[in-house]
Amino acid sequence: MKKLSLTAQIGIALVLAVIAGVLLANQADFVNTYIKPIGTIFLNLLKFIVVPLVLFSIMAGILSMNDIKKVGRLGLRALLYFMVTTLFAVTLGLVVPTLLKGVVPLIHITPEATAEAVEVRQLTVMDQIVEMFPSNIIAPLSSMSMMQVIVIALFFGIAMVHVGEKGEMARKLTLSLNEVVCKILEYIMALAPIGVFCMLTPVVVDNGPAVLGSYAALLGLAYLCFFIHAGVVYSSAVGLLGGMSPLKFFKGMQSAMLFAFSSDSSVATLPYTMQCTEKMGVSKDTGRFVLSLGATINMDGVAIYLGVASVFMATCCGIDLTMSQYFAIAFASTVASIGTPGIPGGSLALMAMVFASAGIPVECVAVAAGIDRIIDMGRTVMSVTGDASCAVVMQKIMGKKM
């Protein structure tokens, strides 16, 4: 009998998780005690392997190119692509809810609803830049500060190329460790269906249909923008710039998108995204470099939602946003999305910065937090899909030059 594909297994796990969540709606203690921990273990395993995966993948990619100019060309083109799609994303997130004002029902925010303020660290642009560069080599690895991990990988990879024969031992060790990490990754990926079921079931139990109904307007706006962005921006990019049929692209990304939706983590999904893009013809060197970079700095889903949430919450509070406030939201959302951690709920900590930039009560973050996990699933799918579209485009553009 033919073994089910990973996509089919994850799809079945998703369906079973929804069914189990409905059946166990009144057994939250049982689910959180015996099912959720297994999902947590699986997610922890993925997080454990992600740092060495990114670290050694980027260094191995640089070593295989053996030419710093090639790394620079690929990195700059990928960065430009990410910035353009992010600008489209945040613009869409602002325009759609503005056009639908008065059409969608609002959440009526009362003083009691915003009484509990959410304590977050507000980051400036310079904070984002400074935090890209680590003050020591250990802290970024233990704290999963992915931008700093990438910076470390770039320094070591470029240095090994520059020193030539003197760095041959380090080069061989790096390539060997990269293979070991990939093998460990295979072991972990084999547990994906079980992990997906155990991660998603508690979400269904804890949130249920009541929360979905209460926040239907905000959920609908966010997911409408996600579909538009994927259908227009990503389809156009892979079709016109990547030379690939959008249908082939989205079909090839099914397993990664399903896992992203269930795991709620773009970083944890990275191994699946790499696997999908390689099957679509993207070379390992290009794919791993671009996807590792994108998992840290490309968060189109976050940019969209920060725009949607800002306009939605402003309307709920009776605030009519001015053009300068729209620009402030757009700029702050772009900066915040670049620095968002690729882990569940990573964008929530930066939402206050965006709200504050437009004069929206920061306490509204507490309201948005109620359904952040549900929307974060869609945000993660968008970010992962955007990374993959960039890899396909970069393979087409750089393929003949590398």
Question: What confidence score (pLDDT) does residue 211 get?
Answer: 46
Pairwise pLDDT comparison (128 vs 145), residue with the higher score: 145
Q: pLDDT-derived band of residue 338, with 50, 70 and 90 as boundaries?
A: low
In the block, which residue shows the tokens 């990939």?
182
Pairwise pLDDT comparison (259 vs 124), residue with the higher score: 259
Taking residues 75-101, what's their average pLDDT?
88
Question: What confidence score (pLDDT) does residue 1 get?
Answer: 55
C-alpha distance from residue 275 to each of 72, 97, 391 (Å): 24, 35, 12
Taking residues 1-26, what's their average pLDDT?
77
- For residue 353, count CB atoms less than 10 angstroms from its CB and return exposed for 0-12, middle for 13-18, buried for 19 or more: buried
Q: pLDDT-derived band of residue 40, with 50, 70 and 90 as boundaries?
A: confident
Please report, for the chain, the start and end positions of each structural domain, with discontinuous segments joined by +.
6-398
Question: What confidence score (pLDDT) does residue 142 get?
Answer: 82
pLDDT digits (tens, 9 = 90+) for 370-380: 566 778 788 88
Is residue 76 pLDDT above 90, yes or no?
no
Q: Are 379 and 305 in contact (CB under 8 A)?
A: yes
- For residue 8, count CB atoms less than 10 angstroms from its CB and return exposed for 0-12, middle for 13-18, buried for 19 or more: middle
Structure tokens at 286: 């290009």
Is residue 8 pLDDT above 80, yes or no?
no
Taking residues 181-200, what's their average pLDDT?
82
Is residue 165 pLDDT above 90, yes or no?
no
Is residue 400 pLDDT above 80, yes or no?
no
Q: Residue 126: which residues within 8 A CB-CB, separation 6 or more?
A: none
Structure tokens at 330: 């757009």
d(CA 294, CA 118): 28
Helix (H) / strand (E) containing 257: helix 254-263
d(CA 13, CA 9): 6
pLDDT digits (tens, 9 = 90+) for 227-269: 999 999 999 999 999 999 999 999 999 988 988 888 777 777 8
Four-way CATH pick for 6-398: 1.10.10.1110, 3.40.50.720, 1.10.3860.10, 2.40.400.10: 1.10.3860.10
Is residue 187 pLDDT above 50, yes or no?
yes
Taking residues 342-357, what's their average pLDDT?
61
By C-alpha distance, which of 354, 245, 242 is closest to 305? 354
Question: What confidence score (pLDDT) does residue 126 get?
Answer: 72
Question: What confidence score (pLDDT) does residue 118 get?
Answer: 43
Is residue 185 pLDDT above 90, yes or no?
no
Is residue 115 pLDDT above 50, yes or no?
no
Is residue 119 pLDDT above 60, yes or no?
no
Taking residues 88-113, what's their average pLDDT?
73
pLDDT digits (tens, 9 = 90+) for 259-312: 888 877 777 788 889 889 999 989 887 888 888 878 767 788 888 988 888 888
Question: What confidence score (pLDDT) does residue 108 get?
Answer: 53
Mean model confidence pLDDT for the chain: 79
Pairwise pLDDT comparison (307 vs 111), residue with the higher score: 307
Provide, rounded to the nearest whole percent, the portion of the chain with pLDDT above 70: 78
Question: What confidence score (pLDDT) does residue 209 get?
Answer: 55
Is residue 176 pLDDT above 70, yes or no?
yes
Q: Give the count of beta carbons closer than 10 Å to the beta carbon of residue 329.
A: 25
d(CA 158, CA 140): 19
Q: Give the count of beta carbons closer than 10 Å to the beta carbon of residue 5.
A: 11
Is residue 339 pLDDT above 60, yes or no?
no
Question: What confidence score (pLDDT) does residue 125 get?
Answer: 58
Q: Give the count of beta carbons closer than 10 Å to the beta carbon of residue 209.
A: 10
Q: Which of 44-53, 108-117, 142-151, 213-222 has the lowest mean pLDDT?
A: 108-117
Question: What confidence score (pLDDT) does residue 218 get?
Answer: 80
